[in-house]
């Protein structure tokens, strides 16, 4: 009887095993057939239609037209192979992660491994573009591999302390969000939003300035003008007068550059006058001057007031018609008519600003060297050189800001952790009572968590308001007279701060949950407040 039951069990086992293997084989055959169909469709589909017989002849006989042969072997087949390898790698990694975590939703994207790779790629691109200027695709592949290894390492380190796979999965998701937040933070602050690019890209557009030789003859100056007009490398050039004057400011004085263009239409291509807050564009005023914002602020002037300029020990006054956005230096932009009315003399257009065509941007210095051969040219000042100099000056300030951000983040984490630790320590009897009444550990944690969520939201709102005032104070304090830093705070900055605060709060609450689980109900109730 027992042998019969054993045989039946073995038969049942083999039958079930055969059914599973049959299903696996069937699914595998279907996937192979689907892959074959998709491969044929991908080879056949494109801007250039190639029939199936031609495809087979090219693949197996290596016979066919040169264009079709190149399309299949150099474009479509490599594309299909790359997709197959990538899909297979993702499937294998997903299978391994799901097996390890015993969770069907575990995967490279869920656990933050892909986010870690993206973060490493973003950091590598920013560093290489800033300090090297170029990078290869292999560099990005290596960076992605290193980033994924780092994320996986953090998950494995967490697995030593978190034995519950669900909690470990949550930790992986948290790592993914942190990596994504870091990536977005770095990318956002690496864009063209600094004062250097604002000044020399958005406001002043010319590529270089020609300083003329005062000892040059009229014939040499005319020869230079003729050369510039015939130079096909230049997009345009503008004759200007750039005079450095002083503006009395109490016991001291500001150095103000008076900028007078000969051609007002070309001036629009060289300089943008606009309001910093509203971004409203201005024309060069027919009456009065356009004065940079920092200049007006230091001299305590507004639109309608008069700006005093000192030239040759004489003081001249000009009405301020426009206050324009500017970040480096002090400028007063005047039309030729306003300059003549103010100083009683016609402008001397001894300097020239020029802009090269986009396709010749890389050859700017070579073009400048050819212009320097003219006897009428004393020197050429390149905007790119000025940008490099200002960036070097601001690099130290950038390091200080990074230190401040990191210190503020660490301080926020420490404060949150200590406050929560003190809160639980002082309320041990209350929390122990809840446990005695039948509350589970998770319910007790949620009891404290709700309070932390409300306090976190209140802290974010209050911190945002105080942060605006503190930002304005710091910017005004660290500024020098010749430079104005940006006053605007992008809305995304508030989002980053709120996200970091929430991440710190989540980490603290996870650690506090473990502490709440360890509360001894008996000993806590015995204690005397």
**Chunked in runs of 10, what are the mean pLDDT values of the chain (529 residues)?**
59 71 83 81 72 78 77 80 81 78 72 79 72 67 84 74 62 68 59 61 85 85 88 89 86 85 89 85 90 88 90 89 87 92 89 88 87 88 76 64 72 75 72 70 73 78 77 66 63 76 79 70 54
The predicted pLDDT at position 337 comes to 92
Question: In a 3-state reduction of DSSP, which class is residue 235?
Answer: strand
Q: Which helix (H) or strand (E) holds 433?
A: helix 428-436
On whether the CB atoms of residues 205 and 143 are closer than 8 A, the answer is: no
Contact 417, 511 (CB under 8 A): yes
How many Cα atoms are found within 13 Å in the side-chain-facing hemisphere of 198? 18
Structure tokens at 235: 């997009």
Q: What is the pTM of this model?
A: 0.51
Output the CA torsion sign for 140, 145, 147, 148: positive
Give the pair of three-digit tokens for residue 124. Answer: 């590598």
pLDDT of residue 134: 58
Residue 514 sits at the vertex; the CA angle it makes with 512 and 516, to the nearest 5 degrees, is 70
* β-bridge pairing 289-292 and 314-324: parallel
Phi and psi at 174, nearest 5°, equal -65, -40
String of b and e for 426-443 (b: at least 16 CB within 10 Å)?
Answer: ebbbebbebbeeeeeeee
What pLDDT is attached to residue 196? Answer: 65
Q: DSSP labels for 295-361?
A: HHHHTT--TTSEEEEEETTEEEEEEEEEEE---BS-EEE--HHHHHHHHSS-----EEEEEE-GGGG
The CA–CA distances, whole Å, from 141 to 81, 132, 147, 261, 481 equal 17, 17, 10, 51, 46
Contact status, residue 109 vs residue 175, Cβ threshold 8 Å: no
Q: Is 51 helix (H, G, I), strand (E, B) or coil?
A: coil
The Cα 402–Cα 309 span in angstroms is: 40
Specify whether the CB–CB gap between 67 and 134 falls below 8 A.
no
Distance of alpha carbon 236 from alpha carbon 268, whole angstroms: 12
How far apart (Å, rounded) are the C-alpha atoms in residues 348 and 344? 12
Tokens of 458: 């209140």
Residue whose tokens read 């009395």: 248
**Strand pairing of 208-212 and 351-356?**
antiparallel
Nearest CA among 238, 337, 346, 247 for reference residue 285 = 337
Q: Residue 192: what pLDDT?
A: 43
Contacts of 178 (CB under 8 A, 6+ apart): 112, 503
CB 373 within 8 A of CB 247: no
Cα 410 to chain centroid distance, Å, stands at: 22
Are the beta carbons of 46 and 74 closer than 8 angstroms? Answer: no
Q: How confident is the model at residue 291, as a pLDDT?
A: 93
In 3D space, the residue among 200, 208, 166 whose CA is nearest the CA of residue 371 turns out to be 208
**Joined tokens for residue 469:** 């005032």
pLDDT, position 290: 92
pLDDT of res. 395: 63
**What does the buried/exposed string (b/e) look like for 453-463 if buried means 16 or more CB atoms within 10 Å of the residue's CB?**
eeebeebbeeb
């Amino acid at each position: 009887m027992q042998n019969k039951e054993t045989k039946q069990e073995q038969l049942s086992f083999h039958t079930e095993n055969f059914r599973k293997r049959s299903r696996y084989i069937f699914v595998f055959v279907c996937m192979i057939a689907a892959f074959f169909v998709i491969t044929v469709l991908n080879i056949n589909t494109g801007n250039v239609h190639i029939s199936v017989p031609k495809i087979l002849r090219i693949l197996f006989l290596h016979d066919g037209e040169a264009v079709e042969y190149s399309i299949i072997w150099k474009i479509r087949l490599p594309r299909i192979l790359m997709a197959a390898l990538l899909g297979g790698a993702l499937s294998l990694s997903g299978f391994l992660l799901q097996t390890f975590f015993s969770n069907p939703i575990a995967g490279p994207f869920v656990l933050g491994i892909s986010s870690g790779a993206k973060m490493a790629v973003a950091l590598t691109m920013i560093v290489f573009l800033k300090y090297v200027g170029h990078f290869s695709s292999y560099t990005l592949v290596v960076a992605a591999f290193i980033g994924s290894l780092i994320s996986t390492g953090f998950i494995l380190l967490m697995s030593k302390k978190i034995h519950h796979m669900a909690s470990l999965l949550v930790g992986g998701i948290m790592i993914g969000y942190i990596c994504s937040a870091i990536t977005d933070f770095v990318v956002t602050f690496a864009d063209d939003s600094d004062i250097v690019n604002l000044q020399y890209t958005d406001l002043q557009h010319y590529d270089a300035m020609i300083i003329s030789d005062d000892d040059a003859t009229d014939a040499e100056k005319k020869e230079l003008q003729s050369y510039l007009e015939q130079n096909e490398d230049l997009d345009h050039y503008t004759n200007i007068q750039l005079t450095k004057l002083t503006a009395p400011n109490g016991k001291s004085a500001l150095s103000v550059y008076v900028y007078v263009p000969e051609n007002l239409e070309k001036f629009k291509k060289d300089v943008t006058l606009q309001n910093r807050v509203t971004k409203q564009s201005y024309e060069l005023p027919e009456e009065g001057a356009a004065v940079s914002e920092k200049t007006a602020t230091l001299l305590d002037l507004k639109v309608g007031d008069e700006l005093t300029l000192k030239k040759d020990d004489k003081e001249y006054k000009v009405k301020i018609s426009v206050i324009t956005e500017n970040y480096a230096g002090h400028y007063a932009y005047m039309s030729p008519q306003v300059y003549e009315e103010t100083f009683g003399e016609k402008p001397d257009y001894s300097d020239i600003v020029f802009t090269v065509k986009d396709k010749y941007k890389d050859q700017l210095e070579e073009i400048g060297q050819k212009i320097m051969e003219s006897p009428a040219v004393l020197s050429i000042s390149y905007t790119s050189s000025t940008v490099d100099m200002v960036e070097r000056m601001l690099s130290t300030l950038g390091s200080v800001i990074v230190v401040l951000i990191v210190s503020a983040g660490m301080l926020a984490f420490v404060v949150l952790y200590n406050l929560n630790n003190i809160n639980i320590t002082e309320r041990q009897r209350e929390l122990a009572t809840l446990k005695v009444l039948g509350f589970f550990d998770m319910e007790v944690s949620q009891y404290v968590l709700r309070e932390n969520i409300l306090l976190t939201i209140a802290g974010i709102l209050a911190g945002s308001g105080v942060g605006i005032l503190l930002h304005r104070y710091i910017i005004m304090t660290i500024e020098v007279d010749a430079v104005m830093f940006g006053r605007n705070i992008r809305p995304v900055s508030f989002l980053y701060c709120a996200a970091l605060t929430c991440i710190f709060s989540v980490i603290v609450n996870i650690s506090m949950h473990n502490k709440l689980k360890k509360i001894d109900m008996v000993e806590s109730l015995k204690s005397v407040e």
